[in-house]
Amino acid sequence: MIDACVHQLEDGTWRLWYNDEPSGKQTFFADSPDLRSWSDRGQAVGDQPGEGPNVFRWRGSYWMVVDVWDGLAVYRSDDALTWARQPGTILRDDPRAHHADVLVREGRALLYYFPRRASGPARWGSRSWACATGASPPLDRVVIKPEDLLNRFKERNPPCAESGQ
C-alpha cells in the first residue's frame, strides 16, 4: 500500500484510498470508525492503472483525482463507493500534472500538483508559483513546484546554529 488518501465521510466513517502495487497499481479502499482499526473493502476504481489517489467532497459529490502518468484521471461519485470516470484526462499538456492534492475553499476546488515535462529530464524552471484560475473541468489549478516546497520548509526551519548543522 502506497500513496494513501484519507477522507471522513458524512456518516463519520473514515475512508482510505490507496495504490495497490500487487494489483498492477489499481486504487483500493478501506474503512475505519476510529482511524486505528481498518477493514479492507476492495477495489475502488480499476479502469486504468494509476497512483496518488486523492478524494474530496465538492458541490454535493465526491471527486477522486488519480495520477495516470499522462495527466490526471478524474472520477465522480455520489456515495464514495461507485465511481464514474469523467471524460478525458486533465492537465496532460506539457508539463503534465502528477500527484495532485485538492483544497476546497469558498466554493472552489483548488488543484495542487507537481509538473513534469512529457519527455526529457524534468525541468522545473523558476522558483515561482504559477496560478491559473478558471481551468476547465472540473477544477481550478495552482501549480506548486517541488523546489518551492523544499525551500519554504528550509525557510521556516533554518539549520540550528548551536549544533553546527
What is the total count of domains within the chain? Answer: 1
Provide the whole-model pTM. 0.72
Residue 165 lies in a domain: no
CA dihedral 148, 92, 110, 27 (to 10 degrees): -100
Residue 113 lies in a domain: yes
Rounded Cα distance between 5 and 19, Å, is 10
Instruction: Kindly give, in sequence order, each residue whose CB lies less than 8 Å from that of residue 151, ignoring residues fewer than 6 positions away.
Output: 127
**Domain with 138 in it:** 2-156
Rounded Cα distance between 84 and 64, Å, is 10
Residue 59 lies in a domain: yes
User: Mind listing the pLDDT tens digit of every residue in the chain (165 residues)?
Assistant: 788 999 999 999 999 999 998 899 999 999 999 999 999 999 999 898 999 999 999 889 999 999 998 888 899 999 999 999 988 887 777 667 778 888 887 777 878 877 776 554 443 332 222 333 333 334 445 555 433 333 433 444 444 444 343
List, edge to edge, every strand of the sheet that includes 140-143. Answer: 96-105, 108-116, 140-143, 130-132
Residue 162 lies in a domain: no
We report the CATH number of the domain holding residue 56 as 2.115.10.20
Residue 164 lies in a domain: no
CB 92 within 8 A of CB 114: no
**Phi, psi of 91, deg, nearest 5:** 55, 45
